[in-house]
Structure 1
Amino acid sequence: MMRGLVGLILGMGMIFASSPAWAQRYDPNYPVCMEIYGSDGSVVDCFFTSMAQCKEGATGMAGICFNNPYYVAPPAEAAPAEQTAPAASATPARSPRR
């Protein structure tokens, strides 16, 4: 009885471990997504750069625009370094002649 239970638990663990992972539905490169509703379910498309662009694309469709919860904003560009005048070149000291 105990072996059967252990075998069942290990078997279920292997089944769940080998299940294919679902693909991420949200592209983290774009801040706005649209969920389009159809007769066979809904589809999420994340390729909009603004809410206005998404709403234009949704015209005439049963869908909704929303902020992408997985959006990763690009890092801010560093401010350019302040330019300074080059330092005066030092002339090598000459040793006194003997």
Structure 2
Amino acid sequence: MAAFLATRPASAQMSDPRYPVCMRTYGVQVGDRMDCVFMSLDQCQASALGLPATCLLNPYFAPRSVRPHRVER
């Protein structure tokens, strides 16, 4: 029973697959979270300036596939 109580519940995916860069914040004042809302590392780093945070590539990023144009005959 103690082992059951000591386990943490599974967490949902925190990364938005539409954005290639995430900012991980941590600490008592800002909380511990992952915000995947950035299109570039530079954009993320500018937002993270002065925060206990780090920017990283989104491991769940799924770029939209570009469909080739069909040639009309």
The TM-score range, normalised by the shorter chain, is 0.7 to 0.9
Tell me the matched-pair count.
Answer: 65
Q: Which has the higher helix share?
A: 1
Name the structure 2 match of 1:52. Answer: 42
Name the structure 2 match of 1:37. Answer: 26
Name the structure 1 match of 2:68. Answer: 78
With the length of structure 1 as denominator, give the TM-score of the two structures: 0.57
Which structure would you say has the larger RCO, counting Cα contacts within 8 Å and 6 or more residues apart? 2
Point out where structure 2 has 5 or more consecutive residues left out of the alignment. Answer: none
SS at structure 2 position matched to 1:53: helix
Tell me how far apart the structure 1 counterparts of residues 11 and 26 of structure 2 sit (CA, whole Å): 20
Percent identity (aligned): 40
Q: Which is greater in Rg?
A: 1
Point out where structure 1 has 5 or more consecutive residues left out of the alignment. Answer: 1-11, 13-19, 85-98
What's the C-alpha RMSD, in Å, of the aligned pairs?
Answer: 2.1
For the pair 1:67 / 2:57, whether they are aligned, the reply is yes
With the length of structure 2 as denominator, give the TM-score of the two structures: 0.74
Misfit runs of 4+, over 3 Å: none
